[in-house]
Structure 1
Amino acid sequence: MIHNATASPAKWRLKRPSIIPGFGLTLGFSLAYLSLIILIPVAGLLWRTAGLGWSGFFAVLTDRRTLDALYISFGTAFVAALVNVVFGTIVAWVLTRYNFPGRRLIDAIVDLPFALPTAVAGIALAALYAPNGWVGSLFMPFRIAFTPLGIIVALVFIGLPFVVRTVQPVMEELDREVEEAAATLGANRFQTISRVILPGLTPAILTGFALAFARGVGEYGSVIFIAGNIPYVSEIAPLLIVIRLEEFNYAGATAIATIMLIISFVMLFVINLIQAWNRRRYGNV
């Protein structure tokens, strides 16, 4: 009887208490926050674009100026993200694997694009890479500023910290004994990097690439000063959206924004698929 009396309360308990209290409250706050900040604005964007109808949407999509602006924005962001993957990984390697005078200073300088206002960065880059600037004059007659190449330079500047700060913590956690074991088994430096180090860094590198690419696609302040903003040549899609808004063509502006949203979502989805495939192949390292 005593056993049954003590066991009976357990039958009426509907759920076990959570180890971490407040799950329901925090989940509700998270969903409300995501809805207000992300879902509702995106839904409003799609709703405004739907007012154009399919014919109006495709008219904006097939407009040559829109296509050129999208090509420049996504093309330069993709190239800049690739450049940042290479040099960002090298910078992270140097900061992680070597001790040298000024290391802490360089580590702090990496975060400078985070703190620097984008307009200030754009003006500084335009002054440096203009034909009469300190750097631009060295590359004459090739022009860097006011061309798509200048856009790439600006996007490399603002995107580098994303790769470094994503790869650096993972690189610090890599077990160096595995590298020593690979060298002991006869692997040369290239084999150690390609077969031991890179598989563990690939998810972080892809994440850094995705962050740098996403930042580059939507970058405005640091680009318009060095791009030249020439239609069909160096005009970025965010600037074209602003131009459409100034023309009171709100539907056209939202249509371009929707196209950018769809393309960005597809590319980030593909990157996530590659990350998942890499984890299945090499394990969650």
Structure 2
Amino acid sequence: MKRKRRKKNVLPGFGLTMGITTMYLSIIVLIPLSMVFIESSKLGWQGFIEVVTSDRVLHAYKISFLTAFSAALINAVFGLMIAWVLVRYSFPGKRLIDGLIDLPFALPTAVAGIALTTLYAEDGWIGQFFTLLNIKVAFTPLGITVALVFIGLPFVVRIIQPVLENIEKEVEEAASSLGATKKQIFTKVIFPELLPSLLTGFSLAFARGIGEYGSVIFIAGNMPMNTEIAPLMIMTKLEQFDYAGATAIAAVMLVVSFLCLIIINLLQKWSRKHEMQGE
């Protein structure tokens, strides 16, 4: 009997690649994250609770998570619309607009923060119009949300775009020939295909917003119990050489962020399963 020839893989075997992968992830991700919990454990359980449940820190958590969630939700809606326009329509300046989507990736966050503060201040180009409506943007939670919308938009657009491009138009034409309206085609045919990528973009924008620092501190104003964010509290602790307190705040943010991402991943899994059952 002739022995079956094993297919040669481009990369080395599973054992070696798995070992390299585990070592790399441990050095880059697991070990640094574990140090957060190791350093915060120096406070002891009672000291840890006192730090992370103080009124000022709790309010900072509230501001960080609410503004990050609001910004991610706004980006999910308008990011979908922008991706739809860029994929489905041709118009002058399309490539320019498509390139501008990636600008928050390349722009230093401090520059973005200064620019947004200048624009949305009470005497700024945009802020002066909000002032006429008695709406203050800069140095308020609304201003923080604006900054997070700015830095989080590319995550949603760039994830939805390739999925939208790969949707076969024949499916839409078949649905139309069967009498489906444009609204029904979008809600029953297109949107279920986009939902997993939309949730992914939302989760990435949300995660980026929670930890954002550079673009927020300028427009936030950093007023305690008003516009102070959790990353700023961590920096304040570090400047006071309170490393254990800083890592305690970071540990809570890490756990809550991880739980939020797990919930979103479960929703993605549910949406894919529901879609397969529908087929």
1:26 Cα offset (Å): 3.0
* Code of the aligned partner of 2:264: I
1:81 counterpart residue number: 72
2:33 counterpart residue number: 42
List structure 1 runs of 4+ shifted beyond 6 angstroms: none
Matching of residue 28 in structure 1 with residue 19 in structure 2:
yes
Q: What TM-score comes out, normalization by structure 1 length?
A: 0.93
% identical equivalent positions: 59
- CA–CA distance in structure 1, aligned partners of residues 137 and 11 of structure 2: 56
- CA–CA distance in structure 2, aligned partners of residues 164 and 40 of structure 1: 32
Matching of residue 185 in structure 1 with residue 175 in structure 2:
no
Q: Equivalent of 1:51, from 39, 42, 49?
A: 42
1:157 counterpart residue number: 150
1:235 Cα offset (Å): 0.4
1:133-172 counterparts in 2 under 5 A?
133-140=124-131, 141-172=134-165
What whole-Å deviation, never above 9, does each CA across 1:46-93 have from its counterpart, x for those lacking one? 111112222112112221111100010010000000000000000000
Greater shift in the superposed pair: 124-133 or 25-34: 25-34
Greater shift in the superposed pair: 179-188 or 33-42: 179-188
- CA–CA distance in structure 2, aligned partners of residues 126 and 201 of structure 1: 34
Q: Please tell me whether Structure 1 or Structure 2 has the larger radius of gyration of its CA atoms.
A: 1
2:85 counterpart residue number: 94
1:256-275 counterparts in 2 under 5 A?
256-275=249-268
1:270-285 counterparts in 2 under 5 A?
270-283=263-276
What whole-Å deviation, never above 9, does each CA across 1:174-214 have from its counterpart, x for those lacking one? 01111111122222122111111110000100000011001
* Code of the aligned partner of 1:188: T
* Code of the aligned partner of 1:28: G
Question: Structure 2: any 5+ residue segments left out of the alignment?
Answer: none
Greater shift in the superposed pair: 181-190 or 133-142: 181-190
Matching of residue 212 in structure 1 with residue 205 in structure 2:
yes
- CA–CA distance in structure 1, aligned partners of residues 9 and 139 of structure 2: 58
Q: Equivalent of 2:57, from 56, 63, 66?
A: 66
Question: Structure 1: any 5+ residue segments left out of the alignment?
Answer: none
- CA–CA distance in structure 1, aligned partners of residues 47 and 180 of structure 2: 60
1:136 Cα offset (Å): 0.5
1:176 counterpart residue number: 169
Aligned residue pairs total 275
- CA–CA distance in structure 2, aligned partners of residues 165 and 26 of structure 1: 29
Matching of residue 243 in structure 1 with residue 233 in structure 2:
no
Q: What TM-score comes out, normalization by structure 2 length?
A: 0.94
1:19 counterpart residue number: 9
- CA–CA distance in structure 2, aligned partners of residues 279 and 119 of structure 1: 39
- CA–CA distance in structure 2, aligned partners of residues 283 and 172 of structure 1: 20
- CA–CA distance in structure 1, aligned partners of residues 257 and 241 of structure 2: 25
- CA–CA distance in structure 1, aligned partners of residues 43 and 8 of structure 2: 49
